[in-house]
């Protein structure tokens, strides 16, 4: 075969390929269809279970069988995605109305995953069978070829209620995402009926029925007034709180019991909540907590926080709302596939989309049923007519040579070749005009059908068929009749599957709590060479001064309400609240500074650690490896952020020294090649922290500053250089930006 080379712009190929990929993800994977509220993987899984006959009243089947069959026939995207979709469809803490009945470990609300698919079993729920799959044999939806065109699958399931609202949906596509909260089935059905009775009803009118989201985990929606805007635009934020009960504990203590959690907290966020509550106690945000226990079980959530006798319970609960995820936000973005394209929909648009779909499905259903009834009526009328002339028909059958001759006589009145017993019979036979179908039915009729009771049953059946035809034609011709049929189905679903609302909708005041003021006092910060930090009171330090000085690299006094500042060689400043540093006994190990700050010991080195109080009182001098230096007012480092840039560095440069200026007169720069430059500190200009600074000394091509020394009151005048003492006072005092003096060891 001859090769064909197509020349085109690379950017055009990339653009087209990305658009095709994005549309595939949006339409065929991540977003639900507004009509049945299902994503393709969910729809295919449910349909496959229906095809396998795993109905609600049949035995469970292994999940692995369901997943394998779905993947092989309809969804070639890997078994994990199919099984995860199946698991979510079984979880009553995620779905307002689970569509699959799971048997085995399908995970729990605390974030534990489901068992492997070879261990679990599943079958369809009754509501799925009756409200999603029951009418598939009546040509109610279009069937499309599967991925390899060996099977047919429904393009959408004929859902009888707005499942998009009842079960909600979450998904991330390319450039867009959907997040729809679950709602109460009974309320959604009432709103759907209200829309069918008055299509001009507004979103506000529909909200008389749909009060708001109804999360499976319960909780309290606290911004009721915002819901109207959210349901009108399809976007917004719903604030949800957990339900808190107050119980009497042992010894006169009070127990704060959390019995319902916000919907976004399900999963691993429950354990994070417990850690956050424990952290409030560890960081001294509250001193009221005695014990925390998670007593949750299959019966429901029960998290117990035991408080001290004199605790302010209301203030503590408000602190939980403000400082933990006991109050959380559910971001609403009601994005779904409508008319073949993604659309952000209002409450009314979602209901309208489903109602329009219901009318389409019902029309196709009753057209199919009408055609079957008309065909049945034709046969019945033929059999009744045949019973009235049964003697003639028997005579025709006995006189015919074959079936074709008898059939021709019944349909067209042809009597040629047929032997009749009586001449009158031939005349009557020539007048017969049964239809093809009626003639076949007569020829296939068994003799017992001629029994009187059977004939009466046939007449009665014909009357029922005629009544059905009249009813079906009425439903198809009158929209009111069809609407009543749909509403009757909705009433039946509501009666069989609805449950009381779990989530409370109200307007609640913002949680306000008063932080107990910590008594300000001096503490001593200690950090060893391994980066373990702790604080002790001043009296403890004085008693253990000798051991503390020997074991720790950084030691200084600071306020317990202040901050510790860490300058690194990368030019960063990391701040840590002193309250976050463990305060206790001298022999306590402390905590790695990495754990309570943004400092990363694997990527940067500490150059200086000091208190915010000292920085506010003094100026700071910076020296880098390339001998760039500057003086900065320490007040510039009094920042709210945990990490800021302390200085600006040139390429391939790093900070060598950060020192607080307190009585130093001269600075001595020491380079890697043994040059020393000594000059007055007053020659270094004061700059802002965002400046690079000025050059301190001229360096060789491969040289760089490796150490910085100072002279003045309280500073060492002699250092060790190449294992020999070097008196800094004997170095010649020069000027900044000189080459310095070479010192040989």
Q: Using CA atoms, how far apart are residues 173 and 19, in angstroms rounded to an integer?
A: 12
Beta bridge partners of 632: 620
Residues 6+ apart with CB under 8 A from 598: 574, 642, 643
Residues 6+ apart with CB under 8 A from 653: 624, 625, 626, 628
Residues 6+ apart with CB under 8 A from 542: none
From the centroid of its chain, how far is CA 606?
39
Q: Using CA atoms, how far apart are residues 588 and 584, in angstroms rounded to an integer?
A: 7
Residues 6+ apart with CB under 8 A from 147: 74, 76
Sheet holding 61-62, edge to edge: 61-62, 121-124, 100-103
User: SS3 sequence, 220-231?
Assistant: EECEHHHHHHHH
Q: Using CA atoms, how far apart are residues 195 and 198, in angstroms rounded to an integer?
A: 5
Helix-, strand-, coil-residue percentages of the chain, each rounded to 5: 40, 25, 35
Q: Using CA atoms, how far apart are residues 210 and 346, in angstroms rounded to an integer?
A: 13
Strands (E), 578-649: 591-592, 606-611, 619-624, 628-633, 643-645
Structure token pair of residue 730: 């004997």
User: SS3 sequence, 103-122?
Assistant: ECCCCCCCCCCCCCCCCCEE
Q: Using CA atoms, how far apart are residues 152 and 146, in angstroms rounded to an integer?
A: 6
C-alpha closest to that of 50 among 158, 145, 148: 158
Active site residue 119: yes
Structure token pair of residue 26: 């949006």
Residues 6+ apart with CB under 8 A from 291: 304, 305, 306
Q: Using CA atoms, how far apart are residues 326 and 180, in angstroms rounded to an integer?
A: 20
Question: Backbone phi, then psi, for 724, in 5-degree steps?
Answer: -130, 145
Catalytic residue selected from 60, 74, 119, 231: 119
Residues 6+ apart with CB under 8 A from 4: none
Burial (0-12, 13-18, 19+ Cβ within 10 Å), 624: buried
Q: What is the DSSP string of 235-281?
A: EEEEEEE-EEEEEE-GGG-EEEEEEE--GGG-STHHHHHHHHHHHHH
CA dihedral over 553, 556, 560, 562, signed as positive or negative: negative
User: Could you list the active site residues?
Assistant: 119
């Amino acid at each position: 075969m001859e090769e064909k080379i197509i020349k085109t712009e690379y950017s055009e190929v990339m653009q087209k390929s990305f658009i095709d990929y994005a549309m595939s993800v949006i339409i065929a994977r991540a977003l639900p269809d507004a009509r049945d509220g299902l994503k393709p993987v969910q729809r295919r899984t449910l349909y496959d279970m229906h095809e396998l006959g795993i109905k609600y009243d049949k035995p469970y089947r292994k999940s692995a069988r369901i997943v394998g069959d779905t993947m092989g026939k309809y969804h070639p995207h890997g078994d994990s995605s199919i099984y995860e979709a199946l698991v979510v469809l079984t979880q009553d803490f995620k779905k307002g109305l689970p569509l699959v009945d799971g048997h085995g470990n399908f995970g729990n609300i605390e974030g534990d995953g489901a068992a492997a698919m070879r261990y679990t079993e599943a079958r369809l729920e009754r509501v799925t069978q009756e409200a999603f799959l029951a009418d598939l044999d009546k040509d109610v939806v279009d069937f499309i070829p599967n991925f390899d065109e060996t099977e047919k699958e429904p393009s959408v399931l004929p859902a009888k209620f707005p499942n998009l609202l009842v079960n909600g949906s979450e998904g991330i596509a390319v450039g867009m995402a959907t997040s729809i909260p679950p709602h109460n089935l009974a309320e959604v059905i009432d709103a759907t009926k209200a829309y069918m009775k008055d299509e001009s009803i507004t979103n506000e009118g529909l909200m008389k029925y749909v009060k708001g989201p109804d999360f499976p985990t319960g909780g309290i929606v606290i911004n009721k007034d915002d819901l109207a805007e959210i349901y009108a635009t399809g976007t917004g934020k719903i604030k949800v709180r957990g339900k808190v009960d107050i119980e009497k504990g042992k010894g006169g203590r009070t127990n704060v019991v959390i019995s319902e959690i916000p919907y976004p907290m399900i999963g691993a966020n429950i354990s994070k909540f417990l850690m956050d509550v424990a952290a409030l106690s560890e960081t001294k945000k509250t001193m009221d907590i005695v014990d925390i226990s998670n007593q949750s079980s299959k019966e429901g959530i029960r998290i117990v926080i035991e408080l001290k006798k004199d605790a302010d319970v209301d203030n503590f609960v408000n602190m939980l709302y403000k400082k933990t995820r006991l109050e959380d936000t559910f971001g609403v973005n009601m994005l779904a596939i409508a008319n073949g394209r993604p659309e952000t929909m209002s409450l009314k648009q979602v209901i309208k989309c489903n109602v329009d779909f219901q009318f389409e499905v019902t029309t196709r259903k009753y057209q199919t049923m009408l055609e079957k009834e008309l065909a049945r009526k034709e046969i019945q009328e033929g059999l009744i007519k045949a019973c009235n002339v049964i003697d003639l028909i028997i005579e025709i059958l006995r006189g015919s040579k074959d079936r074709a001759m008898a059939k021709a006589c019944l349909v067209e009145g042809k009597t040629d070749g047929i032997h009749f017993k009586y001449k009158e019979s031939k005349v009557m036979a020539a007048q017969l005009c049964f239809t093809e179908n009626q003639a076949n039915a007569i020829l296939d009729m068994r003799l017992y059908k001629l029994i009187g009771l059977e004939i009466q049953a046939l007449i009665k059946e014909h009357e029922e068929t005629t009544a059905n035809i009249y009813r079906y034609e009425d439903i198809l011709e009158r929209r009111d009749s069809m609407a009543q049929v749909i509403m009757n189905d909705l009433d039946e679903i509501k009666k069989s599957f609805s449950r009381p609302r779990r989530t409370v909708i109200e307007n609640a005041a913002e949680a306000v709590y008063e932080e107990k003021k910590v008594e300000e006092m001096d503490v001593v910060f200690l950090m060893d060479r391994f980066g373990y930090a702790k604080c002790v009171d001043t009296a403890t330090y004085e008693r253990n001064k000798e051991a503390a000085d020997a074991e720790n690299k950084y030691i200084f006094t600071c306020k317990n309400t202040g901050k510790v500042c860490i300058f690194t060689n990368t030019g960063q400043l990391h701040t840590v609240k002193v309250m976050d540093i463990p305060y206790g006994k001298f022999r306590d190990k402390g905590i790695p500074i990495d754990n309570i700050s943004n400092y990363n010991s694997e990527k940067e080195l500490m150059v200086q650690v000091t208190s915010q109080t000292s920085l506010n009182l003094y100026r700071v001098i910076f020296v880098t490896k390339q001998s760039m230096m500057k003086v900065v007012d320490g007040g510039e480092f009094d920042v709210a952020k945990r990490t800021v840039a302390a200085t600006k560095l040139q390429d391939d440069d790093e900070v060598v020294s950060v020192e607080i200026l307190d009585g130093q007169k001269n600075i001595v720069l020491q380079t890697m090649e043994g040059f020393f430059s000594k000059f007055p500190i007053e020659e270094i200009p004061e700059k802002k922290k965002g400046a690079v600074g000025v050059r301190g000394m001229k360096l060789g091509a491969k040289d760089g500053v490796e150490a910085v020394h100072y002279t003045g009151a309280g500073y060492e005048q002699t250092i060790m250089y190449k294992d020999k003492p070097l008196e800094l006072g004997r170095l010649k005092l020069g000027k900044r930006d000189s080459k310095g003096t070479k010192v040989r060891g």
